[in-house]
Amino acid sequence: MLSLVVRRVVRLVVVLAGVSLVTFAILQVSGDPVALMMPEAPEADRAALRQSMGFNQPLPVQFARFVGNIVRGDFGQSFFHREPALPLVLARMPTTLLLTVLAMALSLLIALPLGVLSAVRRNSVFDHGATLAVFLGTSMPVFWTGIMLILLFAVQFRWLPVSGWESWGALVLPALTLTSASTPLLLRIVRSSMLEVVNLDYVRTARAKGVSEWLVIWHHALVNAALPLVTVAGLQFGLLLGGAIITETVFAVPGMGRLIVGAIRQLDFPIVQAGVFLIALMVVLVNFTVDLLYVYLNPQIRVR
Amino acid sequence: MSIGTLAPPIDVSAAPAAASSSRVWRKLARNPAALAGALILFCVIGAAVFANYVSPHEPARQSLIRRFTPPVWAQGGNAAYPLGTDQVGRDILSRIIHGARISLIVGIAAVVVSLLVGVTLGLLSGFLGGRVDTVITTVVDVTLSFPQLLLALAFVAALGPSLVTIIVVLGLTGWERYTRVVRAEVLALREKDFVEAARAMGAGPTRTLLRHLLPNTFSSIIVMSTLQVAQAILQEAALSFLGVGTGSAYPTWGHMISLGRDFVSVAWWLPTFPGLAILLTVLAINLVGDRLRDALDPRIG
């Protein structure tokens, strides 16, 4: 058990090293960062800056310094805001997390009952309807769903604001949009993992014992179907953060995603790097936690 | 992730399942949803190939008098512009027809890049094992740590938007699924009798890998690639929407929606129809891909 945790921690460190390498590469492939920092300066000034920032040192040396800076939380100055990049990104994180968590909760609220019902009444009209909805949901571009929701609820009915983040009402459409992106996959997984357990012996035994159908489904079956769901939660988190980037742009939500997209358009690489690294870090940490949780939840691994 | 494997062929020459292909087609044809999907796909491909002949107008031709013409069935519509015109009077239908080209080219080409990288790494990882396997698995883990869209967005912007950049970046950010599946299949197949027999008959590692292991992963590769094309089309649309598109003036669905978003309150048809085009195309591919999965190998997750 302990050695397993140690191995997981080692893998965490290795993966984070890889993540920093990829983040480092973003600036490297862009060509000449100094030209972006001082577009109008004469070549002599640029050369001086290149020298002082160490851009003409060998790549491994630059990478080592980059990692050292990351550890100290230093991603450099934003080219555009002329402030340290990391605090700018961190300040917008709560908004993105609020949106993400809200969408995750809504997705679970929708996907769990519908997925279970779909599995229990396999091949019923309801099941086919749910399958169709899953197909439609996975085939819709997130940003378009958002615009269609704006069209319907903000332009046509005028119930909700078109964009912004000033009132609680403004939260509804972005949250719904993100939910529409994450629910179909979740529903499909709930359904298939329920289908796998619903005909197993212990479920049949529980039924034979006279346990009520409600309890059989929600206690005996679902608890065991939950294991694959936990693993998926980690992947789902990355998906949601990716969706949040688009959703925030559609609705002008002042979160990390919008900041990063803006920075990408302005080629403001310190912010892009800080944002990309932070998001990857969150995904890695969530997956790490899920891994440990999985070990804890799954007795088969725990004993080994 | 449990990955099913095909039953290994009995003869040593490892013939891929050619005889059963007619059975696959029959299964595919029995499903009305898949049939509808195939029909839609056929139309989209036709539109893309013959865009110059089937589109009623030049996609770039502007006309300020005709700005914001609504679709033909709405009040003020014009039969010459069935889906209406945009903010500079360009015909939306023609732009959608031409946009199909970019979507399909990017979708298919990006998947080819992913396939080449992912399958090669998966074969090596599963077949060689040991240190190579550890390194490749770690690279997969690192790739999985980034939301694909975010990574693609950052690299397309850094490299400078162009059609080739989008294809390469989407290809290089979407390969890990192939590696995982192919690796798992090779691991399962490696110890099977027919591989053992081939080796005993003197087949070298390269021959074993390419003639005996690779063909047995084809059916899951075909299914994954089909579904991946749909994903790549959605990703390309998202990149175009976020402003790091092909970098040319040629219409793309994502860019049309992005422009239309600003006019959503005055001209609903601007963002609506390109989105419907994406939805229909991706849905069609997903329906066909799902049916292919059932027909070829019911055990792929």
CA dihedral of B123, B124, B125, B128, whole degrees rounded to 10: 120
Q: What is the pLDDT of residue B20?
A: 61
- Sign of the alpha-carbon dihedral angle for A132, A244, B281, B58: positive
| Chain B, window 208-247: residues with a beta carbon less than 8 angstroms from a chain A beta carbon | 230, 234, 237-238, 241-244
Return the SS3 of B258: helix
Return the SS3 of A219: helix
Tell me which of A128, A144, A155 to substitute to probe the interface with B (most B C-beta atoms closer than 10 Å). Answer: A144
**B31 touches A: beta carbon within 8 Å:** no
Chain B residues within an 8 Å CB radius of A26: 154-155, 158
Cα separation values, A182 from A104, A166, B83, B244, B257, Å = 8, 25, 31, 24, 21
Which of B230, B242, B275 comes nearest A246 by C-beta? Answer: B242
Of the listed ranges A225-229, A246-250, B160-164, B193-197, the one predicted with least confidence: A225-229
Spatial CA neighbour of A91 closest among A222, A232, A256, A205: A256
Between CA B103 and CA B232 the distance in angstroms is: 8
Cβ <8 Å between B265 and A162: yes
Cβ <8 Å between A245 and B147: yes
Return the SS3 of B171: helix
- pLDDT of A17 over the 90 cut: yes
- pLDDT of A303 over the 60 cut: no
Distance in Å, alpha carbon of A155 to nearest chain B alpha carbon = 6
Contact A161, A154 (CB under 8 A): yes
pLDDT bracket for residue A58 (50, 70, 90)? confident
Mean pLDDT of A19-48: 82
Cβ <8 Å between A141 and B146: no
Amino acid at B77: G
Query: Phi-psi category of B19—alpha, beta or left, where left has phi over 0 and alpha has psi -120 to 50?
Result: alpha
Contact B169, B155 (CB under 8 A): yes
Query: Phi-psi category of B126—alpha, beta or left, where left has phi over 0 and alpha has psi -120 to 50?
Result: alpha
Between CA A138 and CA A253 the distance in angstroms is: 23
- pLDDT of A13 over the 70 cut: yes
- Pull the structure tokens for residue A20: 């920093």
By C-alpha distance, the chain A residue nearest B239 is A246
Of the listed ranges A22-31, A157-166, B141-150, the one predicted with least confidence: A157-166
Distance in Å, alpha carbon of B174 to nearest chain A alpha carbon = 13
- Sign of the alpha-carbon dihedral angle for A284, A290, A295, A301: negative
Cβ <8 Å between B254 and A141: yes
Cβ <8 Å between B151 and A276: yes
For chains A and B, count residue pairs whose Cβ atoms are closer than 8 Å.
148
Which of A14, A238, A280 comes nearest B138 by C-beta? Answer: A14
- Pull the structure tokens for residue B301: 């997750």
The number of beta carbons lying within 10 Å of the beta carbon of residue B180 is 22
* Phi, then psi, of A213 in degrees rounded to 5: -55, -40
- pLDDT of A18 over the 90 cut: yes
Between CA B223 and CA B226 the distance in angstroms is: 5
Between CA B100 and CA A13 the distance in angstroms is: 43
Between CA A169 and CA A242 the distance in angstroms is: 23
Residue B91 pairs with which residues in a beta bridge?
B85
Cβ <8 Å between A148 and B279: no
Q: Which residue has the tokens 């991706």?
A: B282
Distance in Å, alpha carbon of B16 to nearest chain A alpha carbon = 29
Q: What is the pLDDT of residue B12?
A: 38
Question: pLDDT tens digits for chain B (301 residues)?
Answer: 333 333 333 333 444 444 466 777 776 677 888 899 999 999 999 999 999 999 888 888 888 888 888 898 888 888 889 998 988 889 999 999 999 999 999 999 999 999 999 999 999 999 888 899 999 999 998 998 898 899 999 999 999 889 999 999 999 998 998 999 999 988 888 888 888 888 888 888 888 888 888 888 888 898 899 999 999 999 999 999 998 888 788 899 999 999 998 898 889 999 999 999 999 999 999 999 988 888 876 454 4
Which of A15, A30, A143 comes nearest B145 by C-beta? Answer: A15
Cβ <8 Å between B145 and A242: no
Return the SS3 of B4: coil
Which of A140, A242, A264 comes nearest B154 by C-beta? Answer: A264
DSSP state at residue B64: G
Contact B122, A244 (CB under 8 A): no
- Pull the structure tokens for residue B84: 């209406």
Contact B210, B29 (CB under 8 A): no
Contact A120, A113 (CB under 8 A): no
- Pull the structure tokens for residue A203: 């479920």
Spatial CA neighbour of B230 closest among A241, A141, A181, A249: A141
